[in-house]
Structure 1
Amino acid sequence: MKNLLIAAAALALSAGATLAEPLRMGTEGAYPPYNFVNEKGEVDGFEVELGNELCKRIGAECTWVRNDWDSIIPNLVSSNYDTIMAGMNITDERRKSIAFSDEYTPPPPSAYLALTPDADVTGAVAAQTNTIQAGYVAETGATLIEFATGEEAIAAVRNGEAEAVFADRDFLVPFERDAADLVWVEGQDRVVVGEGLGIGMRQSDTELKARFDAAIAEMRADGSLDAMISKWLGDESMTFAAQAEAGAEN
Structure 2
Amino acid sequence: MKKLILTAAALAFTSGAALAQDVVRLGTEGAYPPYNYIDDNGEVAGFERALGDELCTRAELTCEWVTNDWDSIIPNLLSGNYDAIIAGMSITEERAQKVDFSENYTPPSYSSYAATSEDVDLETGVIAAQTSTIQSQYVVDTGATLLEFPSFEDSLAAMLSGEADAVFADKDTIVPVVEEGTAIFVGEDVPLSVGIGMAFRKSDPELRETFDAAIVSMKEDGTLNEMIREYLGEDSPVFE
TM-score in terms of structure 1 length? 0.85
**What is the Cα deviation at residue 220 of structure 1?**
0.3
How far did residue 159 of structure 1 move?
A: 2.2
Distance 1:68 1:205, change over 3 A: same
The answer as to whether partners of 1:20 and 1:59 remain within 8 angstroms in 2 is: no
CA deviation vs aligned residue, 1:218-245 (integer Å, no higher than 9, x gap): 110000000000110011110002xxxx
The equivalent residue for 2:35 is 34
Paired with 2:69 and 2:20, the residues of 1 have a C-alpha distance of: 31
Q: Give the corresponding residue for 1:79.
A: 80
Aligned mates of 1:42, 1:68 — CA distance in 2 = 16
Is residue 2:237 matched to residue 1:238?
A: yes
Deviations 1:5-54, CA, capped at 9 Å, x for gaps: xxxxxxxxxxxxx9984100000001111001111111111101101111
Structure 1 range deviating more: 79-88 or 202-211: 202-211
- Matched ranges for 1:143-222 at <5 A: 143-180=145-182, 182-186=183-187, 188=188, 190-222=189-221
Aligned length: 221
In structure 2, how many angstroms separate the alpha carbons of the residues matched to 1:19 and 1:133?
Answer: 37
Equivalent residue for 1:68?
A: 69
Q: Secondary structure at the match of 1:240?
A: coil
Structure 2: which amino acid aligns with 1:149? S
Partner of 1:14: none
**AA partner of residue 153 (structure 1):** S
**Retained in 2: the 8 A contact 1:20–1:61?**
no
Deviations 1:34-86 (A, max 9, x none): 00111111111110110111111112111000000010000000000000001
Alignment of 1:23-62 (within 5 A): 23-62=24-63
Partner of 2:13: none
Deviations 1:77-100 (A, max 9, x none): 000000000100000010111110
* Separation (CA, whole Å) in 2 of partners of 1:48 and 1:161: 32
Where structure 2 has 5 or more consecutive residues not aligned to the other structure, the ranges are 1-18
Q: CA–CA distance in 2 between the matches of 1:45 and 1:161?
A: 29
Query: Structure 2 CA distance, aligned partners of 1:25 and 1:216?
Result: 15
Secondary structure at 1:100's aligned position in 2?
Answer: strand
Distance 1:21 1:198 in 2: 23
| Aligned residues of 1:20 and 1:60 also touching (Cα < 8 A) | no
Report the 3-state secondary structure (helix = DSSP H, G, I; strand = E; otherwise coil) of the residue aligned with 1:90: coil
List structure 1 runs of 4+ shifted beyond 6 angstroms: none
Opposite residue 148 of structure 2, the aligned amino acid is: E
In the alignment, residue 40 of structure 2 is paired with which amino acid?
Answer: E
Q: Following the alignment from structure 2 to structure 1, what is the Cα–Cα distance between the partners of residues 103 and 93?
A: 14
Q: Give the structure 1 partner of residue 135 of structure 2.
A: 133
**Against the structure 1 CA distance between its residues 63 and 154, is the aligned structure 2 distance closer, same or farther, given a 3 Å change threshold?**
same
Q: Percent identity between the aligned chains?
A: 52
Q: 1:192 Cα shift?
A: 1.4
State the one-letter code of the partner of 1:239.
V
State the distance in 2 between where 1:128 and 1:154 align: 9
* Structure with greater helix percent: 1
Whole-Å Cα distance in 1 between the matches of residues 181 and 190 of structure 2?
A: 22
Q: Which amino acid aligns with 2:174?
A: L
Distance in 1, matches of 2:165 and 2:30, equals 27
TM-superposed deviation, 1:117: 2.0
- TM superposition shift of 1:195: 1.2
Which secondary structure state, in structure 2, belongs to the residue aligned with residue 161 of structure 1?
coil
What letter is aligned with 1:163?
D
Amino acid aligned to 2:120: A
Instruction: Write the deviation string for residues 105-154 of structure 1: whole angstroms up to 9, x where unpaired.
Output: 00221100012124111121100001111011111111111001111111
**Structure 2 CA distance, aligned partners of 1:21 and 1:228?**
27
Taking structure 2 as the reference length, what is the TM-score of the superposition? 0.89
Instruction: Point out the structure with max Rg over C-alpha.
Output: 1
